[in-house]
């Protein structure tokens, strides 16, 4: 196995963990909402905060690091000016800033308030907004994967 193949393997595995986990979180969100159980919604907020901190963030960092290693590897046919690389880095920055700088913190706050105060229309509305933002971010992640696979513009 070459170093390039190792970086590529780690890059793909980290992306799978990040995107797959985020997608699964959306499924759990739908199930929690359908249940009508306020405790399920509160648990979702807590669990997604945990997942973001201990699974999504480390995976995102591995995606970025291994992506850089892929470009810089001696065996790499790619450079930083490739459209799919530029799109990937820009998308990574946007998703990471929103997901880890805003969404994770807000999900934790909503989950804690639901656990402490019980459900309210305000918290339900806030949670719905956060879930919508998360869905948009997942679409962006899938767009990045699409660009990585088909390498448009090369």
pLDDT 10s digit of each residue in the chain, 154 long?
Answer: 999 999 999 999 999 999 999 999 999 988 988 888 877 877 887 888 899 999 999 999 999 999 999 999 999 999 999 999 999 999 999 999 999 999 999 988 888 888 888 888 898 888 889 989 999 999 999 999 999 999 988 8
Q: Tell me, what's the pLDDT at 123?
A: 85
Closest to 116 (Cα-Cα) out of 38, 51, 25: 38
Say if residues 142 and 122 touch (Cβ distance below 8 Å): no
Contacts 24+ apart (CB under 8 A), 136-142: 137/22, 137/95, 137/98, 137/99, 137/103, 138/19, 138/22, 138/23, 138/26, 140/91, 140/94, 140/95, 141/15, 141/18, 141/19, 141/22, 141/91, 141/95, 142/19
DSSP state of 38: H
Distance CA(71)–CA(85), nearest Å, equals 8
Distances (CA, A) of 143 to 76, 91, 117: 22, 9, 38
Alpha-carbon distance of 85 to 52, in angstroms, equals 24
Strand ranges (DSSP E) for 47-95? Answer: none
Do 75 and 4 form a contact (C-beta atoms < 8 A)? yes
């Amino acid at each position: 196995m070459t170093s390039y193949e190792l970086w590529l393997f780690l890059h793909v595995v980290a992306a799978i963990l990040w995107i797959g986990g985020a997608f699964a979180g959306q499924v759990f969100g739908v199930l929690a909402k359908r249940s009508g159980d306020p405790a399920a919604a509160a648990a979702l907020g807590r669990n997604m905060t945990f997942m973001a901190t201990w699974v999504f963030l480390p995976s995102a960092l591995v995606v970025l690091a291994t992506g850089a290693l892929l470009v810089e590897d001696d065996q790499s046919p790619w450079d930083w000016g490739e459209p799919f690389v530029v799109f990937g880095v820009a998308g990574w920055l946007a998703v990471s800033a929103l997901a880890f700088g805003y969404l994770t913190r807000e999900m934790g706050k909503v989950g804690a308030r639901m656990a402490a105060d019980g459900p309210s229309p305000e918290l339900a509305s806030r949670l719905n907004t956060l879930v919508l933002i998360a869905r948009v971010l997942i679409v962006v992640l899938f767009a990045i994967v699409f660009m990585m696979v088909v390498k448009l513009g090369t």
